[in-house]
Structure formats: structure tokens, C-alpha cells
Structure 1
Amino acid sequence: MKKIHLLLKKEDLNEEKIEAGSKIAVVLDVLLATTTITSALRDGAKQVIPVMDSREALEVSQSYSKTECVIAGELNAKPIDGFVYPSPSLISTMIKDKTLILSTTNGTVALRKASPAKRVFIASLINNPSVAEAVRQEKETDTIVVVCSGNSSGFSLEDFYGAGHFIDCLTGESLSEFDLTDSALAALLFYQARKEESKEILSSALVGRMFNRHEGDIDLRLAAQKGSVNLVPILVDGKFIISKKKVAYQNKD
């Protein structure tokens, strides 16, 4: 029986514990890093490099010419001088055949903290069904750690909802075959009770309300489109690329 753990914020992630054994990490930052990364790969990015902060982003960018990469980031939801704001709709127009170097307050930090796991997947509402199918195909692990990146207040409503959606996609009609922690079960039940309200949930969350104040509705609507992207980003040598494993799923939403 596979165990599903849910961490409610990046600060709960212990690098030593996640490295032990053969754990799979599935990281969500629905608004907005994991949605941005998934969208960028869909839109033709060669790869995405998550970094801890803007200084590391600039250091990494020195290995690329200006025509080979896009440097994007935010700090505490505010633009970083000289960086592209990490909006999926904005990056889509400039990312084809380039490397995206991405720095965000929560999502990329969570991804780096999760990197010691045996396998690290990026998940969001837009690609949860595909990632769930890819995780089901991983036979040599008995522990799946779902990580909510969280936000400035710690708990993130949109990540909790997204985690519930992922767990619902993963367990399907076979819930009895999985051992869920209480937090994982709570996320699943919350999602199942509000499964038709993805846009409303995202809009009502702390970060979603900020998007609404700053004309971010296009990215909110994109992030709320469950199962719209059949793509599995996976970490290889510190870079996220599209998994070559073929996945097929039935999007029941």
C-alpha cells in the first residue's frame, strides 16, 4: 500500500527525510510557479531552472546568451528589476526554444528543497491528471510526498485545493489501495466538496485576491483550467524538462 503524505508549506519539508528511502515528491505552487513552469514547457521552453533567489538567477544566466534564456522572477509578489514577471501569459510570447530561469518567493524554493527526493514532479491544476498517471507508473516507491509551497502566511488555499485535486486524480476509484495522512485526506475531501469551483477557490485565496486587484484574471483563469495540459515536468540534473514517459489519462473533470 502506497503512503501519501501532504506537507502544507515549504517550511515543513525536511531535505534529509525526503532523501531517505525512495520517496517521490510532487510540488504544487498553483499561483503561480508550477503553473508557469508547466505552461512554459507547453509553449516550447527547452527547460526550466528553478533557483533560490535573484542572485542565483543572475549567476545561472551567465552560462547562457541573452537570446538563449528568459530570466523571470518575483519577490513577495512584486516584480524584480530587470526580470520578466513570472506570468504564464506573458512568458508564453517569449519562451520558445529558450531556457527559463525562474526565481519565486515560494514555488522555486520548495522545488529546490524537494530536489533530494528520488523523483520530483511539478504539479498544478492544469496538469494534475497527467502527473498522477506518471506517479502511478512509478513502481519502485511506496511513499509519495505532496508539497504545498505555501505563501507569506504559511498555508495556501489554492495549493491545498490543488493537492486535493492531485490526490483525487491519483487515487481515483482505488482509494482503499492508498494510506493517506490526515492532511492528505483533508485536502482530498475539501477538493471533492468544491470540485466544480476551481476558479472561485483560486480567486478567493489570498494570492488570488491580489491577482484580482492587479488585473491578473487571465492567469487566474489559466491556472484554474483543470487537466488542460497533458504534460509531466520532471527534475533532471537540476532542470525541469518534459518527461519522455508517455502518459494517457481520462480527465474526469
Structure 2
Amino acid sequence: MAKINVILRKEDLDPSFLHDKVAVVIDVLFATSSIVTALNQGAADVYPVLNRQMALETVRNFVKDSYILSGEQHLHSIAGFSAYTPLALSRQSLQGRSLVYATTNGTVALRQADSAAHVYVAALLNAPAVVNQLQQHKDQTLVLICSGSAGRVNLEDLYLAGYLIEQLSAQSSDHWQLTDTCQIALAVYRQYDSPEHCLRQSQLGRVLALTEMDEEISYSARLGCIDLVPKFKGASLQVA
């Protein structure tokens, strides 16, 4: 019987644990939502990086105008970089260009997960497509990695993990062995009548709702509006 495990926050992740497993990285507000949106808007690929310095080093040998730099540190846009939220990114000229993307939590989790056999990106936007993709890995352990926020567990990430577990279990009820953290994620998911209800109840969602990012919360809660799954291929994320 294959196993599903949930990592509650990136700080709990041991990269050596992932070497033969399938990792799914989650950061609903906003890293994974932005990555999914960028690829859906025609970006050639996405390079997840840790910070501004790593972003600049990544593009050192890129052709001019072939990339966009985007990112945040502690919810503040990085100086000189494009906006980092999904709707704001969707208004950029992304077609055929690489997005080099740095965030405080989501891209850090992605870099920590790159030792896994396969690494996928999940947002609410593409969650049904992720469920379908994971059906190809029924004989491997799945590790759902909630990025969290600076060491704290995020409600919205756990909610999405619970959705994925619920859908996978519904399709193959006797196939998956669930860990205790899976049961926690399921309990969180089953508390809410809609994704947006959860996002707006979360600590981060409540903070963002008081800013100009309120529209970004509603967008990021749109379940299944994008039918693609980003996957690590070499150093960048591309459509699987």
C-alpha cells in the first residue's frame, strides 16, 4: 500500500527523506499560485530561487529581455523586481520568457524538495490537474509539503493538502496509507464550505484582505481553473 505524508511546514522537511518519493509543494498565498498562473500565461519556465542575489546570479548569462525577475521577502516586493502575486504577474509580458522567482517560503520549499524523484507544484488553481497527475505515481510515496510562513503552519496550505488527499482517496479508497498529518489536513479541509472561506479565515488571508491584495485572495481560491501541473525539469519548473 502506497503512503501519503504531509509535511506541515518547510522547516520540518529533511531533503534526504525525499530521494525516492514524489513531492508536491504547496504555497497557496502566493508562490505556487503565481507559478501556476505564470506558466498558464505562456512563460517558458520558472526558476525558483532563494533570494535577490540568487535571482541575479541565475540570469547572469541569460539573453537580455528573455526573462522577468519577480519576488518578495516578507511580503515586500524586492526592489527592481516585478510584482510577485498571481494576478499582477498575469499582466506582465510572460509569453516565451523565463520567470526567475524568489519568495520567503514557497520557492525555499521548492529548492529544499528538489532531491525528490519528482517535484510538482500545487495551488488551488490547478488542484484537480495535480490529482490526475499523481494517479501516475500510485506505487510511490507522496509527500505533500506545506510551505508555511516563517516557521508557522499555514491554514490555507493544509486545506489544499486535505483536498488532494480527499480526492486521491475517493478515486482509490483502499490504495493509500495516510499518516497522522494527513488526517490533520483532512480535518482542516472538511471544516470549510469553500476554498475562499478558508483563505479568508487564515491568518495570512486576514492580513492581506486589508491591503490591495484582496482581489488576489479571491483569484487564488478559484479551484481548478487552470489545467496544468508545473514540474521540476532540471533547474526550472515547466509544464509536466
**TM bin (shorter chain):** over 0.9
In the aligned structure 2, how far is the partner of 1:128 from the partner of 1:28?
A: 10
The alignment partner of 1:160 has SS state of helix
* Residue aligning to 1:132: 131
1:172, distance to aligned residue in structure 2 (A):
1.8
SS in 2 for 1:127: helix
TM superposition outliers: structure 1 runs of 4+ over 6 Å: none
**Paired-residue identity, %:** 36
If the length of structure 2 is used for normalisation, what is the TM-score? 0.95
- Which SS does the other structure have where 1:89 is aligned? helix
- The answer to whether structure 1 residue 107 and structure 2 residue 135 are counterparts is no
The Cα of 1:25 is off from its aligned counterpart by 0.2
Instruction: Say which is worse superposed, 123-132 or 32-41, in terms of deviation.
Output: 123-132
Once residues 131 and 85 of structure 1 are traced to their aligned partners in structure 2, the CA distance between those partners, rounded to angstroms, is 26
Pick the aligned partner of 2:238 from 241, 244, 250.
Answer: 241
Please give the secondary structure, in 1, of the residue aligned with 2:56: helix
Among residues 177, 180, 183, which one is paired with 1:182 in the alignment? Answer: 180
Q: Which residue of 2 aligns with 1:2?
A: 2
Q: What residue number does 2:116 align with?
A: 117
- TM-score of the pair, normalised by structure 1: 0.91
The residue type equivalent to 2:211 in the other structure is: H
Q: What is the correspondence of 1:92-241 to structure 2 with a 5 Å cutoff?
A: 92-94=90-92, 95-139=94-138, 141-194=139-192, 196-241=193-238
Change (3 A) 1:47 1:204: same
User: What's the secondary structure of 1:214's corresponding residue?
Assistant: coil
CA distance in 1, matches of 2:231, 2:210: 33
Question: What amino acid is aligned across from residue 165 of structure 1 in structure 2?
Answer: Y
**Does structure 2 retain, via aligned residues, the 8 Å contact 1:120–1:235?**
yes
Counterpart residue type for residue 120 of structure 1: V
The gaps in structure 2 that reach 5 residues or longer are: none
Whether the 8 Å contact between 1:71 and 1:100 is mirrored in structure 2 is: yes
Which of 53-62 and 167-176 deviates more? 167-176
Root mean square deviation of aligned Cα = 1.3
Contact 1:128/1:169 (<8 A) preserved? no
Deviation at 1:162, TM superposition (A): 1.0
SS in 2 for 1:227: coil
Offset of residue 66 of structure 1: 3.8
Task: Give the distance between the partners of 1:187 and 1:200, measured in 2 at CA.
Answer: 16
Tell me the CA shift for residue 153 of structure 1.
4.8
Q: Deviations over 1:79-136 (max 9, x none)?
A: 1111112111111122121100000000000000000000000001111111111111
Contiguous gaps of at least 5 residues in structure 1: 244-253
Size of the aligned set, in residue pairs, is 239
